[in-house]
Amino acid sequence: ARVVLPAVSRAHMIVCRVLGPVEITVDGAPAPPELLWRKHLALLLYLACSPRRARTREHLTGLLWPEKDESAARHSLNEALRVLRRAAGDDAIHVAADQVHLSEESVRLDADDLERHIGKGAWADAAAIVAGEFLEGFAVPGSEEFESWLAAERREWRERSVTALLGWSTLLLRQGSAVEALAAGRRAGGLDPHSDLAAQAVIGALAVRGDSGAAMAHYEGFVDTLARELNAAPAAATRALAERIRLNRGPRPADPASPDVERRRAPLVGRSGELGHLLTLWERVRGGLGATAILLEGEAGTGKTRLLEEFATRARLAGGAVALVRAVEGDLDDPGSGIVGLARGGLLLAPGLPAAPAPALSAFSAILPEWAQRFPAAPDPLPVTQALSGVLGALLEEGPVLLAVDDAQWIDRASLLGLMAAVRDAAAQPLCLILSALPHPPRPELDEVRHRIGGDVPGAVVSLGPLGGAALRELAAWALPGYDPIALERVCRRVASDSAGLALLAVELLSAVAHGLDLREGSVAWPSPMHTLTQSLPGELPDAVVAAFRIGYRRLSRDGQQVLAAAAVLDDRTTEALLARATGLEAAPTQAALDELEWQRWLESDGRGYGFVARLARRVIALDMVTPGQRARIRERAGAPPEIA
């Protein structure tokens, strides 16, 4: 006789995407249409989100079929449960003692995955799940109780989604990916336009990108939204962040909508580990673990200045008082010039300064007009190297302080010794000193600093090398978004050869390729063996590099070209007034040109004036883009002595 076994219902896995427009799959395939009927779907999702995934029959019928009498409502519930069993398997639904229970193994929600990722700090995975509001666009008309539940769930998951996006934004910003961090912050703000944390993420990312004008515009829009919709104001932390940005507003592009303005503002690639290390050291300082010194080393073109700027910006946005000076070769023979540069480069704006001892304040007032406007000069001022400790003592009572010196190979000996003494004297206070320097020429004082850091002076020596292949490919993908993978790889190989992996030259070459430079011709190994970039200048640059600088120069506005040429001909550090004289431009066009040149990273500024971001760029412009007659006229208008042939 034939034995007939009872049919076995195979279990199925229902996967529900609920963070955004609802999507349901069963074993990876589209869900059957009857499961997607509004109340069947509502029952499934409600049970999946309920505590222990269980509810009473009475609760469910009152929730979803309030318009029906008890018998009809129970019939509708039974029909809905039949549909759920057919989709998920008989074992997915258990009914006992008037309780309806949905098994954990039968239904998976992306919301549960989100919670797990947040708990582990897996911010990239968490952010990838967020696609919109909880059950976006879904409703059950006529069921007020269900709609109330839905509104509460949306508030809860909106908050969790914003947490995920802001965690991802923070991590991206820490890695140097400001553009991606901005996108994540904007997504968070889209979910909750009233979130102070989301507004802070957007404002901070814009400031890190260098667009403080856009950051302030976003803040002002946020203020208007809160006032109009909630009759409220931003939180104190948001207001403080906006004020810090307002006090340190940088340049803006002339036309923010133009893609060309971004071509020379490359993302910070290949330096996420170094930036993370610097930020960890800064967080230790802010956390009260004592003073720290950092030496940032690398050959010319490796991106020390860019990394230093990123670090200083993060410290400023986190509430630190930041003073920055860029040393020039002439500072070597000017004792105390580095400390005076810091006084002009941010110390005057630091909170707590009026509490400094009068002799310390008067030391700077005696030589700096901007200090004299606030603090009277004393008859016998202290030397600035001694005055620095008194000033820092007052500032450190208010909060953390970052002192940054770029091109520290040129800083004068007295200033360098004074800065290291300040770190020693403030051993238990929140002071951070960072020096970026070339390894050449040799400086015994810097060798001593290198030896002491990590020994009797807490801190770290961070070395930058050339960019690797992965970083160059990331740069190329950013600069040449229309290129296919094969073309990108071809360009990367040539850029790697012509730039020697130096970030400065790689960005310049890729920007020029985006504007038409042809790199198909062969190249030679460069720099020559046993030579650094600095040692190879000025006569051994590949033709493609020189051509790239020429293309970048010619794409500037006419005023921008004039100001850049004047800056190349004049001293290492020059002022806006001197550049206006040298070019014959009025104040407004001179300032607009300087904004353009800062935005496109040709020039940088500190309290003493403007200088080239890259000395290499200055040499190319001065030698290739300015005729001898133009050089003479520029120097004559500026009142500089004629050059000696």
pLDDT of 546: 85
Q: Which pTM value belongs to this model?
A: 0.82
> b/e map of 258-268 (b: 16 or more CB within 10 Å)?
eeebbbbbbbb
The reply to whether omega before 441 is within 30° of 0 (cis) is: yes
Instruction: Give 131's strand partners.
Output: none
Cβ atoms of 271 and 309 closer than 8 Å:
no
Determine the Cα–Cα distance for residues 48 and 93; give it in Å rounded to an integer: 11
pLDDT of 520: 61
CA distances from 176 to 152, 275, 308, 548 (A): 36, 7, 12, 25
Determine the Cα–Cα distance for residues 312 and 295; give it in Å rounded to an integer: 14
Query: How many other CB atoms are found less than 10 A from the CB of residue 301?
Result: 25
Instruction: Give 21's strand partners.
Output: 136
Tokens describing residue 162: 């914003």
Q: Is 65 helix (H, G, I), strand (E, B) or coil?
A: coil
Mean of per-residue pLDDT scores for the chain: 89
Query: How many other CB atoms are found less than 10 A from the CB of residue 116?
Result: 11
Q: Look at residues 4, 606, 21 and name the one whose alpha carbon lies nearest to residue 345.
A: 606
What does 209-230 look like in DSSP terms, one character per residue? HT-HHHHHHHHHHHHHHHHHHH
Positions of the chain with pLDDT lower than 70, given as ranges: 1-10, 249-264, 520-541, 644-645
pLDDT of 257: 47
pLDDT of 262: 53
Task: Provide CB contacts within 8 A for 536, sequence distance 6+.
Answer: 526, 527, 528
pLDDT of 589: 94
pLDDT of 521: 53
pLDDT of 604: 87
Residue ranges in 329-383 assigned as alpha helix (H): 337-344, 358-365, 369-372
